[in-house]
């Protein structure tokens, strides 16, 4: 008995001392993290993120796998030469499990990491976030309410059925059906139906002139003719990867589709692993269990083998209720924009992984971006002068509303901005909200008593088009608490006139106007930061898509 | 099935067996009442906190789009009608369909359930070894090195949040020592760290109570008498002291197991990416996927009720005195 007991004691002592050592080690790491310049490869600055050339996602060629060219799919017996080649497997960690894999239903990022590789739309976005031919080669308006798409020939679904006008029309009609529950509602808004008018031509009709139909169609994934509920757990698309398995709660696997019409990827299979806890995901990355972790924090950069960042299509702002008497004067709103030091905000709260918003909720690649407009400078003196000019030399009382746990450092941003506003003489109350209540409260029209004075939020513009912001800045818009006739008129042109140049000009005028008559305190454009394995070769995309065909392992 | 109330008469196992059946039936009745309450409370609570259609809809959805979803979800019926329908459905085994997962909520729960059962059983087994055997050995020789080390470990484990301990184990045993995968359920070795976390935290609490019960028992006169009569220490400990502390031990071990199902294991599942119902519930709550959340809570509730019943039965096996009551 005695020797046993001693061994047990020894084991515990060992474990305890190991823990103590590790604790010491962790302390050391923390110290390192405090230093600003980290010894990590960080991606080239913002604008370079999309500089990789304008080819469509699936057409990007990355060192083609030698086997796929050598053994065309016809002969299933060519397994032998595969043996000496270790199939390349890539693992991506996501925090939430996709609820379904039907690309026409889901739209959250975790699901898109999977479905974006299995499904394709008629229109793609290239690496510069511009619309590019996808399963449609060309498209254009036929009349006010009809668009025609000419489809690519020779495309096949993973189940072997051909992609043609019939399946394309079916795909659109399936999604716009009244009883189809989809999270992609904003992409089918205004679309009535689609019909095949030839073997490889379809027409899509809308309930009015719809200038943004092409960008909507970029988010309408194509499914086989007659697809139904089976798409939820055994999806079939035309993408470079085909669904291979779903281990509920754990992982989803997809394999290279050898019947793919374009250039496939060099990765033979990829696994999307569900790791809810970010700390655990980072540990898994350090332990070589996963290759890519999305959305890491600035302070976690030191913990990963390789980090890359890309400017996100996320713009933080604090919306005004311009119907509040004190804030009805544009001078007051300009003053409040001048009062906030955006540079300090970006540097202090986001470790530099954010930049002042160009006062237009748009990336420079987006349609309607106005080059002449930049961030409001930090000028508290002028802000005070403007306030006095508007008749509020002693400021006024205002409530700032911030949701809890919704946006990265949102609560801290609220506090910091409130501080800046108090510096120019305002009296700011901060009110924090649970997200779903906040969302409802945020929609109360500005003219009503319960409307929120100041509302913090992030606007995501994954359309790369000013139209995405319409509901925030036009008279009577869903989330709008401003009514400027010129802006409304220009946005009307933007969503109805088909000519892209005309739209661009209209939006630019609207943004210029919104600079004089701001609808919000424009804060920051945020970054997305990725933790990557040392051997993962990949440039993050501007459009928040994760195409495995663009990734490779060195 | 009515049980005849046979008078005690001469046969000793007669009344005991009848009493056992009665006990089980009574507990089952209580359990069903408890579960009915759980169903009612969880349904009312989930429906009070928010609007599933609004959460499902895109951020920029119009009122009409949200209403369309609400209609598709069946949320436009009056609350009482939906409640009554749900209540009846649940007791006929229909827990509704998840709008997010587009499949019966019960399927989602049954996918996750075996993993949680596996983890809680492995964890409680480890906890029992650490807590009960360790507690008795430590309690038999208070102040020894074994006692101090284990005591320190259990107090330390009780003083930190369980998810933090989990992360610590990941850092030590996955990253530094490379012995186990960090997370997921990739093979037998994946269960070691999450189960060890359960074992250390919950075993720590068992250890504390078993140890003090043993110390107390060891100081009773009969132990002194037995020892002075020449019984070896080991015999006294494992034959008499163990039996007399058995009730305490069973109570605390059973209670710790129930605590796991009451939520303690869910944070551990989350940290280790263990595909159990804790992770399922948390995601369902975020998405306001009510049917999945409700089904998971009800099934977890059923486990709590069943576990309690098993603990009660265990008492009877351990201690004759309980049979009388």
B68 close to A178: Cβ distance less than 8 angstroms? yes
Measure CA A148 to chain center.
Answer: 28
Assess A535–B contact: CB distance below 8 Å, yes or no: no
pLDDT tens by residue, A479-517: 899 999 999 999 999 988 988 899 999 999 999 999 999
Q: How far apart are CA A347 and CA B96, in angstroms?
A: 49
Q: How far apart are CA A295 and CA B29, in angstroms?
A: 49
Query: Cα torsion at B175, B176, B177, B181 (round to 10°)?
Result: -10
Beta pairing, strands A131-133 & A123-125: antiparallel
B144 close to B270: Cβ distance less than 8 angstroms? no
By C-alpha distance, which of A190, A168, A202 is closest to A467?
A190
- Give mean pLDDT, residues B126-137: 91
Could you tell me if residue B158 is left (phi over 0), alpha (psi between -120 and 50 degrees) or otherwise beta?
alpha
Both structure tokens of A57 = 């996602």
DSSP A93-135: EESS--S---TTT--SHHHHHHHHHH--BSEEE-TTS-EEESS
Q: How far apart are CA B196 and CA A15, in angstroms?
A: 13
Residue B10 has pLDDT above 60, yes or no: no
pLDDT at A75: 40
For chain B, how far is it from start to end, CA to CA, in angstroms?
A: 22
Helix (H, G, I), strand (E, B) or coil at A314: strand
- Give mean pLDDT, residues A301-312: 93
- Give mean pLDDT, residues A90-115: 94
Beta pairing, strands A427-433 & A520-532: unpaired
Rg of chain B (C-alpha set) = 24
CA-nearest residue of chain A to B51? Answer: A436
Residue A60 has pLDDT above 80, yes or no: no
Tokens 């939006």, residue located: A507
B276 close to A249: Cβ distance less than 8 angstroms? yes
Chain A residues with CB under 8 Å of B49 CB are 436
pLDDT tens by residue, B31-63: 889 888 988 888 888 887 777 888 888 777 777
Assess A479–B contact: CB distance below 8 Å, yes or no: yes
DSSP conformational letter for A305: S
CA-nearest residue of chain B to A190? Answer: B65
By percentage, how much of chain B surpasses pLDDT 90? 31
Q: How far apart are CA B95 and CA B168, in angstroms?
A: 38
Question: DSSP alpha helices (H): ranges in A203-277?
Answer: 213-217
Q: How far apart are CA B152 and CA B146, in angstroms?
A: 10
Both structure tokens of A315 = 């713009």
Helix (H, G, I), strand (E, B) or coil at B182: coil
Assess A18–B contact: CB distance below 8 Å, yes or no: yes
pLDDT at A130: 93
Length of chain B: 325
pLDDT tens by residue, A277-292: 999 999 999 999 999 9
Question: Chain A neighbours among B 143-172 (CB < 8 Å)?
Answer: 145-146, 149-150, 152-153, 163, 167-168, 170-172
The minimal CB distance from B270 to the residues A105, A189, A277 is found for A277
- Give mean pLDDT, residues A51-61: 36
Q: How far apart are CA A298 and CA A351, in angstroms?
A: 6
Length of chain A: 554
Q: Exposed, middle or buried, A53 (CB in 10 Å: 0-12/13-18/19+)?
A: exposed
Assess A7–B contact: CB distance below 8 Å, yes or no: no
pLDDT at B323: 57
Assess A275–B contact: CB distance below 8 Å, yes or no: yes
Chain B residues with CB under 8 Å of A461 CB are none
The minimal CB distance from A436 to the residues B51, B62, B234 is found for B51
Q: How far apart are CA A552 and CA B12, in angstroms?
A: 75
Q: Exposed, middle or buried, A71 (CB in 10 Å: 0-12/13-18/19+)?
A: middle
By C-alpha distance, which of A357, A89, A123, A312 is closest to A221?
A123
In this prediction the pTM is 0.83
By C-alpha distance, which of A181, A166, A170 is closest to A227?
A170
A147 close to A167: Cβ distance less than 8 angstroms? no
- Give mean pLDDT, residues B107-126: 94
Question: Chain A neighbours among B 52-91 (CB < 8 Å)?
Answer: 54-62, 65, 68-69, 72-73
pLDDT tens by residue, A160-189: 999 999 999 999 999 999 888 888 988 999
The minimal CB distance from A97 to the residues B98, B234, B283 is found for B283
Assess B256–A contact: CB distance below 8 Å, yes or no: no
The minimal CB distance from B145 to the residues A9, A277, A460 is found for A9
- Give mean pLDDT, residues A379-407: 94
**CB-CB under 8 Å, B150 with A12:** yes
The minimal CB distance from B270 to the residues A179, A276, A283 is found for A276
**CB-CB under 8 Å, A283 with B167:** yes
Q: How far apart are CA A66 and CA A398, in angstroms?
A: 65
Question: Chain A neighbours among B 223-252 (CB < 8 Å)?
Answer: 234
By C-alpha distance, which of A294, A308, A309, A314 is closest to A363?
A314
Mean pLDDT for chain A?
85
Q: Tabulate helix, strand, coil % of chain A (nearest 5).
A: 35, 20, 45
Higher-pLDDT residue of B237, A132: A132
- Give mean pLDDT, residues B219-231: 86
Helix (H, G, I), strand (E, B) or coil at B309: helix
**CB-CB under 8 Å, B149 with A185:** no
Chain A residues with CB under 8 Å of B102 CB are 99-100, 102, 105, 181, 229, 232
DSSP A179-206: T---S-HHHHTTEEEEEEEETTEEEEEE
**CB-CB under 8 Å, A478 with B111:** no
Backbone angles phi, psi at B10, to 5 degrees: -90, -30
pLDDT at B67: 85
Band of residue A28 on the pLDDT scale cut at 50, 70, 90: very low
For chain A, how far is it from start to end, CA to CA, in angstroms?
A: 54
Chain A residues with CB under 8 Å of B171 CB are 22, 26, 283
pLDDT at A59: 36
Question: Chain A neighbours among B 168-197 (CB < 8 Å)?
Answer: 168, 170-172, 174-178, 181-185
B200 close to B153: Cβ distance less than 8 angstroms? yes
pLDDT tens by residue, A341-354: 999 999 999 999 99
DSSP conformational letter for B131: I
Band of residue B240 on the pLDDT scale cut at 50, 70, 90: confident
pLDDT tens by residue, B167-223: 999 999 999 998 999 998 888 899 999 999 999 999 999 999 999 999 988 888 888
The minimal CB distance from B170 to the residues A97, A99, A280 is found for A280
Domains of chain B listed by start with CATH number: 110-289 (1.10.3720.10)
Question: Chain B neighbours among A 221-250 (CB < 8 Å)?
Answer: 229, 232-233, 247-250
pLDDT at B17: 60
Could you tell me if residue A501 is left (phi over 0), alpha (psi between -120 and 50 degrees) or otherwise beta?
alpha
Residue B92 has pLDDT above 90, yes or no: no
**CB-CB under 8 Å, A275 with B273:** yes
| Crossing angle (nearest 10°) for helices A410-423 and A342-350 | 150
Band of residue B322 on the pLDDT scale cut at 50, 70, 90: low
Residue B86 has pLDDT above 70, yes or no: yes
**CB-CB under 8 Å, A183 with B56:** yes
Question: Chain A neighbours among B 101-120 (CB < 8 Å)?
Answer: 101-103, 108, 111-112, 115
How many helices, marked H, and strands, marked E, lie in chain B? 16, 2
């Amino acid at each position: 008995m005695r020797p046993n007991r001693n061994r047990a004691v020894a084991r515990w002592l060992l474990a305890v001392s190991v823990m103590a050592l590790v604790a010491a080690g962790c302390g050391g790491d923390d110290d390192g993290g405090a230093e600003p310049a980290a010894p990590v490869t960080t991606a080239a600055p913002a604008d370079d993120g999309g500089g990789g050339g304008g080819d469509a996602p699936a057409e990007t060629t990355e060192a083609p796998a030698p086997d796929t060219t050598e053994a065309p799919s016809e002969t299933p017996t060519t397994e032998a030469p595969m043996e000496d080649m270790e199939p390349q497997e890539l693992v991506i960690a996501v925090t939430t499990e996709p609820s379904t894999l039907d690309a026409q239903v889901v739209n959250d990022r975790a699901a898109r990491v999977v479905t974006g590789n299995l499904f394709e739309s008629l229109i793609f976005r290239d690496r510069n976030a511009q619309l590019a031919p996808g399963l449609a080669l060309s498209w254009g308006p036929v009349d006010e309410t009809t668009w025609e798409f000419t489809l690519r020939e020779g495309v096949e679904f993973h189940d072997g059925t051909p992609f043609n006008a019939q399946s394309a029309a079916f795909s659109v009609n399936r999604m716009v059906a009244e009883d189809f529950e989809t999270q992609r509602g904003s992409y089918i808004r205004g679309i009535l139906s689609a019909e095949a008018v030839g073997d490889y031509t379809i027409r899509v009709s809308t309930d009015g002139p719809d200038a943004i139909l092409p960008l909507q169609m970029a988010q309408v994934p194509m499914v086989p003719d007659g697809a139904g509920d089976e798409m939820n757990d055994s999806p079939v698309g035309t993408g470079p990867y085909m669904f291979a398995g779903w281990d509920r709660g754990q992982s989803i696997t997809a394999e290279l589709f050898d019947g793919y019409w374009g250039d496939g990827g060099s990765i033979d299979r990829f696994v999307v692993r569900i790791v809810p806890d970010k700390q655990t995901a980072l540990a898994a990355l350090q332990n070589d269990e996963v290759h890519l972790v999305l959305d890491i924090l600035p302070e976690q950069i030191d913990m990963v083998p390789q980090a890359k960042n890309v400017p996100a299509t996320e713009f933080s702002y604090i919306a005004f209720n311009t119907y509040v008497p004190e804030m009805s004067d544009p001078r007051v709103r300009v003053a409040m924009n001048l009062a906030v030091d955006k540079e300090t905000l970006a540097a202090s709260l986001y470790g530099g992984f954010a930049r002042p918003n160009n006062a237009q909720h748009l990336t420079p690649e987006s349609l309607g971006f106005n080059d002449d407009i930049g961030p409001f400078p930090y000028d508290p003196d002028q802000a005070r002068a403007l306030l006095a000019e508007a008749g509020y030399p002693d400021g006024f009382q205002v409530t700032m509303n911030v949701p809890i746990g919704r946006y990265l450092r949102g609560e801290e941003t609220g506090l910091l901005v409130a501080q800046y506003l108090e510096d120019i003489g305002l009296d700011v109350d901060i009110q924090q909200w649970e997200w779903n209540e906040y969302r409802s409260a945020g929609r109360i029209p500005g003219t009503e008593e319960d409307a929120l004075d100041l509302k913090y939020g992030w606007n995501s513009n994954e359309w790369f088009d000013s139209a995405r912001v319409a509901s925030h800045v036009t008279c009577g818009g869903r989330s709008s608490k401003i009514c400027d006739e010129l802006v409304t008129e220009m946005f009307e042109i933007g969503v109805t006139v088909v000519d892209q140049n005309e739209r661009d000009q209209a939006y630019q005028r609207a943004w210029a106007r919104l600079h004089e008559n701001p609808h919000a305190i424009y804060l920051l454009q945020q970054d997305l930061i990725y933790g990557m394995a040392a051997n993962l070769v990949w440039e993050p995309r501007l459009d928040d898509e994760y195409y495995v065909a663009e990734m490779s392992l060195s | 099935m009515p049980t005849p109330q046979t008078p005690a008469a001469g046969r000793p196992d007669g009344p005991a067996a009848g009493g056992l059946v009665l006990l089980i039936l009574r507990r089952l009745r209580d359990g069903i009442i408890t579960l009915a309450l759980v169903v009612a409370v969880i349904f009312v609570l989930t429906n009070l906190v928010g609007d599933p259609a609004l959460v499902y809809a895109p951020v920029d959805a119009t009122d009409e789009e949200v209403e369309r979803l609400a209609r598709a979800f069946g949320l436009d019926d009056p609350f009482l009608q939906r409640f009554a329908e749900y209540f009846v459905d649940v007791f006929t085994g229909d827990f509704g369909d998840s709008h997010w997962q587009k499949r019966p909520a019960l399927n989602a729960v049954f996918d996750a359930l075996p993993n949680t059962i596996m983890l809680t059983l492995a964890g409680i087994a480890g906890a029992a070894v650490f807590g009960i055997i360790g507690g008795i050995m430590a309690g038999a020789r208070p102040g020894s090195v074994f006692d101090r080390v284990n005591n320190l470990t259990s107090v330390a484990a009780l003083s930190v949040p369980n998810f933090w301990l989990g992360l610590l184990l990941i850092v030590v045993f996955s990253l530094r020592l490379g012995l186990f995968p960090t997370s997921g359920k990739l093979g037998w070795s994946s269960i070691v760290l999450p189960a060890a976390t359960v074992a250390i935290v919950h075993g720590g609490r068992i250890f504390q109570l078993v140890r003090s019960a043993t110390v107390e028992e060891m100081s009773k006169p009969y132990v002194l008498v037995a020892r002075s009569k020449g019984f070896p220490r080991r015999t006294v400990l494992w034959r008499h002291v163990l039996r007399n502390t058995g009730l305490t031990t069973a109570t605390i071990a059973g209670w710790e197991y129930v605590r796991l199902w009451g939520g303690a294991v869910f944070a551990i599942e989350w940290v280790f990416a263990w595909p159990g119902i804790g992770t399922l519930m948390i995601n369902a709550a975020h998405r306001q996927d009510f049917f999945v959340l409700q089904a998971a809570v009800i099934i977890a509730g059923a486990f709590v009720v069943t576990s309690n019943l098993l603990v009660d039965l265990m008492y009877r096996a351990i201690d004759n005195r309980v049979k009388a009551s």
